[in-house]
Amino acid sequence: MKALTVNDKMTSRERVLRTFNYGKTDRVPVNYAANPAIDLKLKEYFGLQKDDSEKLREALGVDFRWAGATYKGPKLHKDIPERNVLVDDWGIHRKWVEHESGGYWDFCDFPLEHATEEEIEKWPMYNPDDFDYSAVPEICRKSRQYAIHVGGAGTACVINTNGMLRGMEQTFIDLITDDPAGLLLAKRRTDIDLEICRRSLEAAKGEVDFLWMGEDLGTQISPIISPDTYRKNIKPIHKRFVDLAKSFNIPAMVHTCGSSSWAYEDFIEMGVKAVDTLQPEAKDMSPEYLKKTFGGRLMFHGCISTAGPVSFGKPEDVVKECRRILDIMMPGGGYCFAPTHSLQDNSPLENVIAMYESAHKYGRF
């Protein structure tokens, strides 16, 4: 296995925790997310089995691990095999859509698009009692040298996840008009999310390092909703999760795609410690702007564009871009090297390898 890490002097956990506090480290922390096709190519490159995700993260020098409970309850919604539609236990419908470099399970049907408040109240959803929290301590024990988080980019999300069930158009109408059905859907889902996170943190007994949550708040050129709408119908939900993290004395990191820095002052006011994604091509999301405006007040995680040289350039272009981002983001600490989204299937393998090699070669202090 041709691991990329060299001469690390700190554990991953030490490295990430210091970075959350803008402290001095041996190198920038590194994270990873990828679609299945490129993930499989990476495992083949490192000589790994297709299900050996842990060894892949070790090979790439990834400093982060997830800990959480596993659902053990009944299946709540039936798949639709005659249409090749998978339905998860939130009731979200997905259909496989092929493209030239792979495919996606994309959202379809939007079963609650026209649902009333009463229908949403009765819609089957996860019960936090049906999760197995007993494995969380063992996950934490095995991953103790890494930075461990609960939650993820979809935790506490209103717009995207409501959109998967209600459609994006109706979701935006709900938020603008205070539609009781749409707001109830958001409340039911996030109440469940919050309770699962709370019980997972309790089970971890202090061994989790941060809570990861998310909400896509921007297009490529502007906010996706008005600040007033965010503050009225989404920020109170987000604050509950930030407050949960505070109650366990851990920081919260918020995933936000697109032009979303307009919301960062709200995040800071709530007590958010870190922001994730940082798409550099979106308005007011360049590394220069973020570092100048929020450096020292927010930790940054991401900024390596999956829509840039990693997908469309050559390895030397990838190295040049990664060095540029590192040169801007590293001074003063507070930066984690990560892709802005899951690495896409059209990313050449040699570009992804060049990306992670750059992190370990040029991301050292």
DSSP per position, 331-350: TTS-EEEEESSSBPTTS-HH
Helix %, strand %, coil % of the chain (to 5): 45, 20, 40
Sign of CA dihedral 58, 63, 64, 67: positive
Supply the mean pLDDT for the chain: 96
List the one residue out of 362, 263, 311 whose CA is nearest residue 30: 362
What is the CATH code for 12-74+125-362? Answer: 3.20.20.210
Of the candidates 185, 36, 187, the one whose C-alpha atom is nearest the C-alpha of residue 102 is 36
CA atoms within 13 A on the CB side of 255: 20
pLDDT at 243 > cutoff 80: yes
Name the one residue in this structure whose structure tokens are 């919260």.
252
What percentage of residues in the chain have a pLDDT greater than 70?
Answer: 98
Residue 2 binned pLDDT confidence (cut-offs 50, 70, 90): low
Residue 315's SS3 state is: helix
Domain coordinates of the chain in residue numbers?
12-74+125-362
Closest CA to 56 of 76, 74, 38: 38
Dihedral over Cα of 238, 244, 249, 250: its sign: negative
The answer to whether the CB of 164 falls within 8 A of the CB of 87 is no
Give the mean pLDDT of 218-237.
98
Provide mean pLDDT across the span 287-303. Answer: 98
Average pLDDT over residues 303-317: 97
How far is it, in rounded angstroms, from Cα 282 to Cα 216?
13
In this structure, are residues 61 and 30 in contact, taking their beta carbons and an 8 Å threshold? yes
Residue 227: what residue type?
P
Please compute the mean of the pLDDT values over residues 126-142 and round it to a whole number.
97
In the predicted structure, residue 7 carries a pLDDT above the cut 80:
no
